[in-house]
Amino acid sequence: MIDWKKNKFKTNNTTKLEHCLSNPEQTSKNTNKEIRLTKLVESAGCASKISQDNLRKILAALPKISDPRVLVSPDTWDDAGVYKLDDKIALVQTVDVFTPCADDPYTFGQIAAANSVSDIYAMGGKPMTALSIIGFPINTVSYKVMRQIIWGGIDKMKEAGVVIIGGHSINDKEIKFGFAVTGSINPAKIITNNNAQPGDILILTKPIGTGVINFANKMDKASVSAVMAVNKSMAELNKTASEIIAEMGVTTATDVTGFGLIGHLSEIVVQSGVTAEIYADQVPLFDGVVDYIRKEMISCALRRNKEYASQYLEVAKNISQEMENVFYDPQTSGGLLIAIGEEQGEGLLSRLKKKGIKDAAIIGKVISKSGGRILLKKIS
């Protein structure tokens, strides 16, 4: 038994160890009502992720996967990994964790859950189970905030039909939350990012600009209506869109998240070996996004995305720099970007809108085979 009277940590370091010995409910100064989560982190949401360029450098030096049961691996930069169990079923697995992109804890939890299951939806899979992952400064922020974050995630996962069967927490200086999600899919019906063909049209299911508005909000520059609009969008599941594209036999899609529209489209065009054109005036945007960019509401993550993805992009002369920058904006829980044959495209768009995905729009077209290029232009 330790004699605490003689122990030097008790006599000399009481102040330093107080946070380890005390009750979090007593030591936490902040409460749910007093705190703005985005003020506690350096970067909000998917803007906190590591850049494409750095990830490629890191992953390039790692061992390749050679197991024949792995149907989709990190080699193709798809949204999730796929592991074959038998001829009729495979597991789809992903993990996604990021910092707060909303000030309200419950809302942030919902968004984190919606973002985590989105990778499963992008592959055409059905999410089944999840494990929660949270980093939290338990000694400086009330445990009630952590509980609200997790509660929001639980409710959103229930909406997705996903059972949370466990999780892991760590004491961290910055709040981080997300899930490791497992889903199922027929091995013959996997939707990947490498099957886009000339003649396909490109459909996006949610507006873009969440990163710009989240950054403006962090700087106290965003309007209440703008913040409410992006929070609502980020918390919406891509479930319905995924079910529709799976029913229609779509083979190419991805979700638009931290690498921005151009970054995620660059994966499609490179992996598919095609050139695509994007119609800047047809891409759905949140109200005021271009104005916020004019006011220099530009995060470091947007700049990183541009540094990497601009190598694939050719910009028409009538596209302003502000408009171009919108398409590098890191999205949090963005929509699905879908490539589908032109003859089916209007039918898909109609079905999406009938099911309540009102912002879905045709934003471009795959025009030819190539090594992977994107042309940004206007059509009006």
Catalytic positions, written as ranges: 46
Tokens of 60: 């390039």
The number of beta carbons lying within 10 Å of the beta carbon of residue 11 is 10
245: nearest Cα among 367, 339, 120: 339
Cα dihedral 243/98/183/327 (nearest 10): 30
Helix boundaries (H) for 1-77: 8-12, 14-21, 24-27, 52-60
Task: Give me the phi and psi of 254, to 5 degrees please.
Answer: -155, 165
DSSP string, 269-288: HHHHTEEEEEEGGGS-B-TT
Q: How far apart are CA 156 and CA 47, in angstroms?
A: 22
DSSP-assigned letter for residue 256: -
User: What are the distances in angstroms from CA 277 to CA 168, 252, 268?
Assistant: 43, 16, 12
Pick from 133, 124, 49: nearest CA to 95: 133
Residues recorded for the chain: 380
- Amino acid present at 253: A
Distance (Å, rounded) from C-alpha 115 to C-alpha 134?
15
E strand spans, the chain: 70-72, 81-84, 90-98, 126-136, 163-171, 176-185, 200-204, 252-255, 274-279, 313-315, 336-341, 361-369, 373-377
| One-letter amino acid of 68 | P
- How many whole angstroms separate alpha carbon 208 and alpha carbon 15? 48
The pair of three-digit structure tokens given for residue 255, joined into one six-digit string: 């979700």
Pairing type for strands 163-171 and 126-136 reads parallel
Cβ pair 326, 209 in contact under 8 A: yes
Question: Longest C-alpha distance within the chain, in Å?
Answer: 81
